[in-house]
Chains A and B, each alone.
Chain A
Amino acid sequence: MNLLLLTIVLALIWAAISGSFSGLNLLLGTAIAIVALYLLRDFVTKPRALRQLRRIASLALLFVYELVVSAIRVAIVVLTPNLRAALRPAIVAVPLTVKSDAEITLLANLITLTPGTLSIDVSKDRSVLYVHVLTLSTREALIADIATGFEAKVKAVFA
């Protein structure tokens, strides 16, 4: 049932991207969706409950807001006349509490697109995420910021 729904959604996305909702194109989209789902059969997990959609939406909203704030902040930094005084770049090791691949990937991508932070690397044992910061205040403040903000939201989505 879940696979059927995914197939339909993927076929519709295909039709939307190629810009034609004709029968033949939808059929082609369905074929591609089936091939893609077959290739990814080990990764397509069990259906998620509907209430998780709300959490995903909340994460998406937070993300868009942070992204705009982030772009404006980078813009201000870039336009500062005395650039070297405004910058305090640093690479900080942030301890991770999320464990699965999907969670770490999502968190790292969110961190990259949010104010002043860019994820660089994950340690081999997946316990630490190395984050580059544009203007460091203190390393503890940054770690607390990530843990209470995105990390909590990411956990809620995957809970």
Chain B
Amino acid sequence: MIDVMLYLGAFLLLCGSAFTLLAAIGILRLPDLYTRMHAASKAGAVGGGMVLLAVALVCFEGAVALRAIIGVLFLLLTTPVSAHLLARASHRAGYIPNKITVLDEIQTIKKSQSGP
């Protein structure tokens, strides 16, 4: 039983680290803030959550495990809010999406309202 938990914990730790690494690569490679937030909010949240779950599995202490699990919940609650706010703030500040963006309906609506 202890072995199973240790192996499962190690597996989760590896997966979590891999996702976190991929999130970092995504932030480097993707072209603009909006696409980068995809990598940071999803791969980042899953990676961080998996690492915390691994901690909960291998620590063998109820209080620590409970806090790690609550940590996962808070991570899942707060990450989308911060990603949303960053994207919203930059769009309001006039940060223009990268040229390869095929459609921006906020812009088209603003133009149709201010235009003749």
Contact = CB atoms under 8 A, between A and B. Distances in A.
Interface of A: 13, 16-17, 19-20, 67-68, 70-71, 74-75, 77-79, 83-84, 87-93, 108-110, 112-113, 116, 118-121, 130, 132, 134, 136, 139
Nearest to A136: B102
17 contacts: A17-B67, A71-B19, A74-B23, A74-B43, A75-B43, A78-B39, A89-B32, A89-B34, A89-B102, A90-B103, A109-B77, A112-B83, A113-B79, A116-B38, A119-B84, A132-B35, A132-B87
Interface of B: 19, 22-23, 25-26, 29-32, 34-35, 37-39, 41-43, 45-47, 63-64, 66-67, 70, 76-77, 79-81, 83-84, 87-88, 91-92, 97-98, 100-107, 109
A53 to B, nearest CB: 17
B26 A13 contact: no
Contacts of A112: 41, 79-80, 83-84
Given A17-B67, A120-B88, A136-B102, 6 more contacts: A67-B76, A75-B22, A77-B26, A78-B25, A88-B100, A109-B80
B35 A89 contact: yes
B100 A67 contact: no
Nearest to A70: B42
A67 B45 contact: yes
A113 B97 contact: no
Given A75-B22, A109-B80, A120-B84, A92 B105 contact: yes
A103 to B, nearest CB: 15
Contacts of B88: 120-121
B26 A74 contact: yes
A82 B56 CA distance: 38
B2 to A, nearest CB: 22
Contacts of A87: 30-31, 35, 100
Contacts of B97: 89, 91
B108 to A, nearest CB: 9
A20 B64 CA distance: 10
B80 A16 contact: no
Given A78-B22, A113-B42, A118 B103 contact: no
Contacts of B64: 19
A16 B65 CA distance: 10
Given A87-B35, A91-B104, A71 B67 contact: no
